[in-house]
Amino acid sequence: MLNSNNNWQRPSQVRYALIMLSFLLQQFSFADDYKGFELINDKQESFINFRLINNLIVVPVKINNKMELNLVLDTGGRSVILFGNHFKRKFELLPKEIVLNGYGRNRHKTARLSLDNQVEFGDALGKGISILIANDKYFFPYNDEVVIHGIIGYQVFSRFAVTIDYKQEVITLTEPGYYLPPSGYKSMELTLKDTKPYIKLDYGITPDNSANGFFHIDTGSSRNVILFMKDDTNYFKGVKKLRCEVGKGINGSIAGYKDVNNLLELKNLAVRTDYHMLKREFSSSEINNAEGSIGSGLWKEFTIVLDYVNQMFYYRKVT
């Protein structure tokens, strides 16, 4: 992802809003000295089938020509992360452990770092890729369909125009120089901050409390929308809130609230949807006045395109 210099700039029926995949590595920035991902076989475009599991985009990858794994495609994931101690036997690891700062009720988890790996994703080949190995084998809930091993994000999104067709369950990676904005799609500017994509939207619970602000496009969240509760605002005054588990973070479950009476209107997207609330702090590397995040629970009703290179977002509601 291109960094912006702007200062503002669910096993069970439980839906796990893995929102903290977006916050896992706020304190760590690994400057990979690598070529990164590129399309091979003389392709300018690659089509990759995925599975939408609990509203998470699960994609097949191959690591170091031998490990075939399933990873969540997450716009908030700075590095590739694999969950489970058994992976440590399969990589050359740096000796020092790294503390993963993320949300959750438990203590901070640690991880080990492996450098210079090869990752295949469709016709995209990534060389010199850094991979973090975290301890929690059961970070993702068990699913009868497929085992989820980890996440992948920034290293893919920063290199290609990425089209996510939720209905057809197909991802398209396009070389930015060959990408043409699709007809019939609406567009808006994409703001990039600390490897995360944001769009600016008009929103409101009622006509009397309409507002405007930045929302993180969070494909690593299974929720529809999460609004951030801030100490300096009365925006949620009078809202009847039900305390609940908003999601699961790197350090365990995350407590928050659900509005039991109102729907949230996102005017630019022409949708009204249920939403959750989360009180959280912001790091200095984030857009610290962001209003919330929009997850795949909502985006699955759309086809979306994230073009980090040209800092544009395209979307079309699928009926």
Q: Domain for residue 14, yes or no?
A: no
**Which pLDDT belongs to residue 144?**
74
Q: Residue 12 and residue 135: Cα distance in Å, rounded?
A: 23
**Which pLDDT belongs to residue 281?**
62
What are the distances in angstroms from CA 161 to CA 62, 185, 308, 312, 314? 21, 15, 7, 9, 10
228 with 115, same domain? no
Q: Domain for residue 131, yes or no?
A: yes
Q: Which of 151, 178, 205 is the last residue of a domain?
A: 178
26 with 171, same domain? yes
Q: Which of 133, 158, 178 is the last residue of a domain?
A: 178
144 with 206, same domain? no
59 with 109, same domain? yes
Q: Residue 141 and residue 270: Cα distance in Å, rounded?
A: 32
Domain count, the chain: 2
CATH code of the domain containing 170: 2.40.70.10
**Which pLDDT belongs to residue 282?**
55
Q: Domain for residue 217, yes or no?
A: yes
Q: Domain for residue 12, yes or no?
A: no
CB 293 within 8 A of CB 225: yes
- What residues make up the domain containing 285? 186-317
198 with 240, same domain? yes
66 with 95, same domain? yes
214 with 313, same domain? yes
Task: Give 34-68 pLDDT, tens digit per residue.
Answer: 479 999 999 999 999 999 999 999 999 999 999 99
Output the CA torsion sign for 155, 55, 68, 122. negative
**Which pLDDT belongs to residue 251?**
67
166 with 100, same domain? yes
Q: Domain for residue 259, yes or no?
A: yes
110 with 254, same domain? no
Q: Domain for residue 25, yes or no?
A: yes
Q: Domain for residue 7, yes or no?
A: no
**Which pLDDT belongs to residue 1?**
31
Q: Which of 311, 314, 228, 230 is nearest to 268 (CA)?
A: 314
Residues of the chain with pLDDT under 70: 1-34, 101-107, 142, 232-234, 250-251, 280-288
